[in-house]
């Protein structure tokens, strides 16, 4: 794991069926056996035809706020909305933009009376390396979209009363890579954009051999909102820009532009200790390649609460397979796992999840997805580096400080953490014509796969220079 601390305005901390089965498991205080047994019922209300997902997200107390350190703790985020898998930019016309990318990814979202909090956990490529060219300078740069990145949009005015909606109300766009390089802007619904807007966020990011972890805290004041904005629904995009191969993904349907406010997922904020639904998994934890959907019904209130659950997960166009409008009464302070799995091992599946209150007045969770049980497209297509380039080398020259900075990333060497076996590394700047050495520097010992060096107080001069490491 790599760690760097950057002193920048955005306050970044980087650490670098054959048979259908239904499984129920109750956690927490239990009043009796009978209240939580599923009772057959019809779905309450009409299941939406739309592909726009909708979630209830609880507002937490400030004392329950997650620590933004790039080390995602499930317990810290247990009171947050949780969503797994994102829609791919493939097969948009065929699926209406709800075809899932095969790579594992989870988003969390919540808020207190000061910040909105977002976290993401995304699987790493097989070589353990993300594409990260834009470095964490003070300037917002669209170059971040050429890197592996995470992109978040908020429209805090989506469900606001008409008398509060004006032409200049803004949605907010934030994209960031592993190292903290970023692009941010605010947008009006009529197309006006302000590329100078900054979220004033705190960011924690880290990687290990399996996962990229990202945590964000975004202050209300920089979104131009107050706690009153929790009285109505928000629009929300949460996407991951993959580079190997390129796929731009989103919780909301792919197809419409991210700047299309009407295509955003819907977040319905509720007061602290409200019942809500967490999406835990779309992958069988025992390793079986088969349809699998796991959710958790959470009731933090002091009274039993009834969820009406509809989950249809089947081959496209096949007969219904799942839970058809079943009521689950979760006791006070309790949690209940709901798992739907099937025995098939290939093909394309369609899944609809529609969970409401008993009377249908609240939609706790709604999402449609189309996905391949055993994906036919490769999950990863790793970049081929030019011959002789066994490691990644990046550099920058800062004339205002007369400083040259360089970084070497050894992860492509696949040394199995034995980076201290590298005996040394150097960087050298020479004049192309005279071959004169203008400056050089030695990298520190490699205790992790990435090392950097700064060379200061030298005269770069005019002409073409060669840089070698």
Q: What is the pLDDT of residues 448-468, one digit of tens each?
A: 667 666 665 566 677 766 777
Checking if the pLDDT of 80 tops 80, the result is yes
Compute the distance between CA of residue 6 and CA of residue 61 in angstroms, rounded to an integer: 29
**pLDDT band at residue 348 using 50, 70 and 90 as cut-offs:** confident
Checking if the pLDDT of 77 tops 90, the result is yes
Element spanning 455, H or E: strand 450-456
Which of 3-12, 250-259, 409-418, 445-454 ranks highest by mean pLDDT? 250-259
Residue range 264-290: mean pLDDT, rounded: 89
Residue among 377, 386, 373, 392 nearest 128 (CA): 392
More confident residue, 94 or 281: 281
**pLDDT band at residue 379 using 50, 70 and 90 as cut-offs:** confident
Q: Which two tokens stand for residue 441?
A: 């520097």
Residue range 169-195: mean pLDDT, rounded: 89
pLDDT at 135: 76
pLDDT at 246: 85
Mean of the per-residue pLDDT values of the chain: 80
Which of 21-25, 97-101, 439-443 ranks highest by mean pLDDT? 97-101
Angle at 279 between CA 277 and CA 285, to 5 degrees: 140
**pLDDT band at residue 375 using 50, 70 and 90 as cut-offs:** confident
Compute the distance between CA of residue 246 and CA of residue 93 in angstroms, rounded to an integer: 18
Residue range 89-107: mean pLDDT, rounded: 91
pLDDT at 44: 62
Residue range 274-288: mean pLDDT, rounded: 89
pLDDT at 18: 26
How buried is residue 161: exposed, middle or buried, by Cβ count under 10 Å (0-12/13-18/19+)?
A: exposed
Checking if the pLDDT of 256 tops 80, the result is no
pLDDT at 445: 78
Residue range 255-261: mean pLDDT, rounded: 80
Question: What share of the chain has pLDDT > 70, as a percent?
Answer: 80
Compute the distance between CA of residue 392 and CA of residue 450 in angstroms, rounded to an integer: 9
Checking if the pLDDT of 25 tops 70, the result is no
Looking at 46-50, 188-192, 235-239, 454-458, which range is the least confident one?
A: 454-458
More confident residue, 75 or 388: 75
Residue range 55-82: mean pLDDT, rounded: 94
Question: What share of the chain has pLDDT > 90, as a percent?
Answer: 43
Residue among 402, 386, 361 nearest 270 (CA): 361
DSSP state, residue 100: B
Q: What is the per-residue DSSP string for 375-442?
A: -SS-S--PPPPPTT--SEEEEEEEGGGTEEEEEEE-GGG--TT-GGG----EEEEEETTT--EEEEEE
Looking at 69-78, 117-126, 136-145, which range is the least confident one?
A: 136-145
pLDDT at 24: 34
Q: Which two tokens stand for residue 32?
A: 């009796």
Residue range 83-110: mean pLDDT, rounded: 92
pLDDT at 457: 59
pLDDT at 284: 82
Residue range 20-42: mean pLDDT, rounded: 32
pTM of the model: 0.76
């Amino acid at each position: 794991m790599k760690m760097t601390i950057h002193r920048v305005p955005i306050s970044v901390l980087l650490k670098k069926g054959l048979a259908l089965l239904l499984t129920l498991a109750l956690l927490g205080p239990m009043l009796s056996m009978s209240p939580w047994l599923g009772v057959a019922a019809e779905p309450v209300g009409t299941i939406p035809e739309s592909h726009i997902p909708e979630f209830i997200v609880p507002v937490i107390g400030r004392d329950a706020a997650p620590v933004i350190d790039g080390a995602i703790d499930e317990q810290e985020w247990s009171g947050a909305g949780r969503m797994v898998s994102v829609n791919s930019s493939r097969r948009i016309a065929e699926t209406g933009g709800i075809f899932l990318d095969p790579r594992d990814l989870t988003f969390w979202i919540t808020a207190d009376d000061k910040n909105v909090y977002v976290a993401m956990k995304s699987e790493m490529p097989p070589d353990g390396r993300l594409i990260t060219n834009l470095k964490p300078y003070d300037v917002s740069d669209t170059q971040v979209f050429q890197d592996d990145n995470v992109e978040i949009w908020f429209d805090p005015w989506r469900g606001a009363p008409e008398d509060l909606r004006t032409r200049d109300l803004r949605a907010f766009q934030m994209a960031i890579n592993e190292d903290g390089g970023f692009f941010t802007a605010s947008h009006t619904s009529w197309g006006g954009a302000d590329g100078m807007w900054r979220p004033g966020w705190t960011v924690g990011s880290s990687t290990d051999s399996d996962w990229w972890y990202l945590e964000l805290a975004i202050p209300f004041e920089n979104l131009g909102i107050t706690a009153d904005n929790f009285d109505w629904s928000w629009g929300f995009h949460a996407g991951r820009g993959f580079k190997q191969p390129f796929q731009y993904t989103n919780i909301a349907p792919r197809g419409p532009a991210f700047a299309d406010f009407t295509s955003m997922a819907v977040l319905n904020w509720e007061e602290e200790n409200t019942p809500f639904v967490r999406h835990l998994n779309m992958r069988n934890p025992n390793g079986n390649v088969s349809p699998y959907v796991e959710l958790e019904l959470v009731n933090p209130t002091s009274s039993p609460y009834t969820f009406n659950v509809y989950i249809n997960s089947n081959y496209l166009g096949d007969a219904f397979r799942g839970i058809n409008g079943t009521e689950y009464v979760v006791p006070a302070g309790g949690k209940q796992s709901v798992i739907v799995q099937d025995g098939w091992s290939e093909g394309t599946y369609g899944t609809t999840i529609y969970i409401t209150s008993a009377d249908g007045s609240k939609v706790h969770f709604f999402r449609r997805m189309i996905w391949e049980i055993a994906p036919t497209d490769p999950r990863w297509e790793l970049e081929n580096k030019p011959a002789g380039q066994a490691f990644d080398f990046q550099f920058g020259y800062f004339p205002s400080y007369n400083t040259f900075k360089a970084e070497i990333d050894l992860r492509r060497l696949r040394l199995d953490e034995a980076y201290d076996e590298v005996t040394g590394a150097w960087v050298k700047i020479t004049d192309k014509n005279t071959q004169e050495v203008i400056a050089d520097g030695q990298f520190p010992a490699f205790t992790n796969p990435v090392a950097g060096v700064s060379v200061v107080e030298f005269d770069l001069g005019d002409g073409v220079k060669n840089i070698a490491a």
